[in-house]
Amino acid sequence: MSTQFIDDPEDPRVAAYRDIRERDLTGREGLFIAEGEVVLRTLLSPASLCRPLSLLIASSRLEAQAGLIAAAPPGTPVYGASQAVLDRVAGFPLHRGLLGLGERPPARTVEAVLAELPADCVVLACSGIGNHDNMGGLFRNAAAFGAAAVLFDDRCCDPFYRKAIRVSVGAVLRTPAAAAASLEALVAALQAERFEVIALSPGAREPLRAVKGGGRQAILVGSEGPGLPPAMIARLRSVAIPMAGGFDSLNVAVSSALALHQVSNMSVR
């Protein structure tokens, strides 16, 4: 696969990579930027649910990344640029020197995703997750512990934001996901598909260790601080992670990892 070299930061061939941080905020209309070797390898792997459209790599890294480039589908444009040009295209110093442009998978409804899942599985459901680091961490945990999907409500941030993809180490690109119109719609869809919805709440009396894996289960997590609405917690089975030292909560990504580990160790292994 031949490399096309870019000498001008204004070259239209790399317009999609220009001013990355600003475009992160304004959106890319179904496209996303993948950054770093680990994420790019996921994008180019058979496990990816996304289509790679092009690669932009620092010229000094082209030889070392020959294997990664070879994994791209035939005909995928590969652009090389000096570090100085690459930084000007991106709009900030790009130390990793590796970028890819990808296309999101077609949007699916929560109902469509759930209908395809097996009788024994766990999914991660999220409400009000507004921090991209947390969103990336949630996807990473879901992939690590074998969750069949990540689902979220209308108050969650975009998992295809570049930082969320990077923190997830590419898990966003390979994990089935869907958004519901609201938390109520999300829970209703899960219950309609016979999922036991287990809400994580610091105030719950039942400890996480009491949860046994098996069947269809959904771990539901809320935003840090407010957490899940009390009215929703009252409707569901809620569990807490016991803590010492006067602490009453953990980072939402850490909490999800503990809960997924508890369920997956029993239902998957």
Same domain, 49 and 172: no
- Domain co-membership, 131 together with 258: yes
Number of folded domains that form the chain: 2
pLDDT tens track for 203-234: 899 999 999 989 999 999 999 878 899 999 99
- Which tens digit of pLDDT belongs to each residue from 149-200? 999 999 999 999 999 999 999 999 999 999 999 999 999 999 999 999 999 9
Kindly report the number of other CB atoms within 10 A of residue 268's CB atom.
15
* CB-based contacts of 129, cutoff 8 Å, min separation 6: 135, 138, 152, 155, 156, 157, 221, 222, 223, 252
Which of 1-5, 27-31, 78-82 is most confident?
78-82
CA distance 15 to 180: 32
Kindly report the CATH number assigned to the domain that includes residue 27.
Answer: 3.30.1330.30
One domain for residues 116 and 174: yes
Identify any residues that bridge with 206 across adjacent strands, giving them in sequence order: 239
- Cα separation, 205 vs 240, in Å, equals 7
Both 196 and 68 in one domain: the answer is no
Report residue 266's pLDDT band, with 50, 70 and 90 as the boundaries. Answer: very low
Instruction: Indicate if 16 and 121 belong to the same structural domain.
Output: no
Of 81, 103, 125, the residue that ends a domain is: 103
As a whole number of angstroms, the distance between CA 181 and CA 22 comes to 27
| 245 lies in the same domain as 145 | yes
Same domain? 120 vs 92: no
Range of the domain at 115: 110-267
Q: What is the CATH number of the domain that holds 161?
A: 3.40.1280.10
pLDDT per residue as tens digits for the range 67-78: 999 999 999 999
Within this chain, do residues 226 and 151 fall inside the same structural domain, yes or no?
Answer: yes
**What is the spatial distance between Cα 160 and Cα 172, in angstroms, rounded to a whole number?**
7
**pLDDT score of 269 more than 80:** no
Secondary structure E strands in 75-161: 78-81, 98-103, 121-126, 150-152
Domain stop point among 103, 123, 157: 103
